[in-house]
Structure 1
Amino acid sequence: MHHILYLHGFLSSPASVKAQATREYFAQYYPDVQLHIPQISNSPAHVEQQLLTLIAQHPGLIENGLKAIGSSMGGYLSTYLIEKFGGKAVLVNPAVRPYELLQNYLGEHVNPYTNEGFTIVPSDIEVLKQLDTARLNNPKAYRVMLQTDDETLDYRQAEQKYAHSHLIVEQGGDHSFVDYSRHLPDIAEFLLNGIK
């Protein structure tokens, strides 16, 4: 049994289009892969403990190195976990400095998927900074998928940080990563080395 962790982005959920496409693909082509898609807390202050608890509850996730897929903020969190536990990750339009971006999100919000209300406070920015990974131990542990017309994040930040990783930079697209499903066979291959 192989385990893969999928981490969605900020203001998203396991019901997102990419998360569901990933679930369907692995269910069809890799039935012995257990895909974990947690609802990540909207509050950055709770995210690290939530993820560490999840891994403690499912030790199979890190048995042979963590395998993760992370979108946007989920890409930032996936990098933190890979640097902590080892393994490899596919990052889709990953956030590189979300603590800068969230400066513009201080205040009250509602998650459009869950309708949960929450508040981003200045201490959340500091919490995110603590999860930053200034240096990558093994850049080749990352497959990084970027689209240049991402309207939320500057793709060049990720292009620079992951310059020595497996980089895929597509012209156009948007933050959701247009045509993501087309990449799922390569994502599975990268994470599982062709093991079915």
Structure 2
Amino acid sequence: MLLYLHGFRSSPQSMKSRLVQSRMREWGLEKYFACPVLNVSPSQAIAQAEAAIRGARAGGEDEIAIVGSSLGGFYARWLAERHGCRAVLLNPAIHPWTDLEKYLGEQPLYHGGGSVTVKREHLQELLDLRVDTITRPERYYLLAATGDEVLDYREMVEACPGARIRVIEGSDHGISEFDDYVDDVLAFCGYTPDGRQRA
């Protein structure tokens, strides 16, 4: 299973999520794609992700890979450490418990209307999920854009010592040209255009 974790105020309708799903559909692999609508509560978002992982393993899918964008990348680090799976981090948040302090209160969603309410206890939930040092860095692939207008790419690189790292010159937080990288991301996760998953 490939588990895609979207960012703060985002959804499965994000550009990157749809590109990953579309490419997997082209390759006959869409049944392995999962992208839950993550709760604003970090502890509940992690519970949703872990439920998806448990469900995949119960269905006989032993190979799990996670692609996480922004806040989803923060979650992906914690899940990869806990479950020993591969993770691709797309402009990941490194210390969201401070980044999100300025977003306390009601915040509009990017897709489909509606809003979420960020509470102070959510910041503590994020702090409880921090990963100080990644283990087995070969499991990680970081894509970090120097032009990220929200997060500092240098903090991302610093947080992933020994990982496979691709620094994208320029670009933006959403990695607007993600279509150029999606095949590489899927290859790292173990998927190929001929419809087979690499062991």
TM-score by length of structure 1 reads 0.91
1:163-195 Cα deviation digits (max 9, x unpaired): 310000011110011311111221121111647
1:145 shift after superposition = 0.4
1:44 correspondence with 2:26: no
1:56-100 Cα deviation digits (max 9, x unpaired): 333268953420111111111111111000110111111111111
The answer on whether the counterparts of 2:9 and 2:116 sit within 8 Å (CA) in structure 1 is no
Separation in structure 2 between the aligned mates of residue 100 and residue 16 of structure 1, nearest angstrom: 24
Q: Counterpart of 1:75? A: 73
Match of 2:127 among 126, 129, 141: 129
Separation in structure 2 between the aligned mates of residue 162 and residue 61 of structure 1, nearest angstrom: 31
The answer on whether the counterparts of 2:3 and 2:33 sit within 8 Å (CA) in structure 1 is yes
5+ residue gaps, structure 1: none
RMSD between superposed Cα atoms in Å: 1.9
1:28 correspondence with 2:26: yes
Alignment of 1:26-175 (within 5 A): 26-31=24-29, 34-59=32-57, 63-175=61-173
1:152 shift after superposition = 0.5
* More moved, 12-21 vs 58-67: 58-67
Aligned length: 194
TM-score by length of structure 2 reads 0.90
The answer on whether the counterparts of 1:144 and 1:168 sit within 8 Å (CA) in structure 2 is yes
1:45 shift after superposition = 4.2
Aligned amino acid, residue 127 of structure 2: K
1:34 shift after superposition = 1.0
Separation in structure 2 between the aligned mates of residue 112 and residue 61 of structure 1, nearest angstrom: 33
SS of 1:58's partner is helix
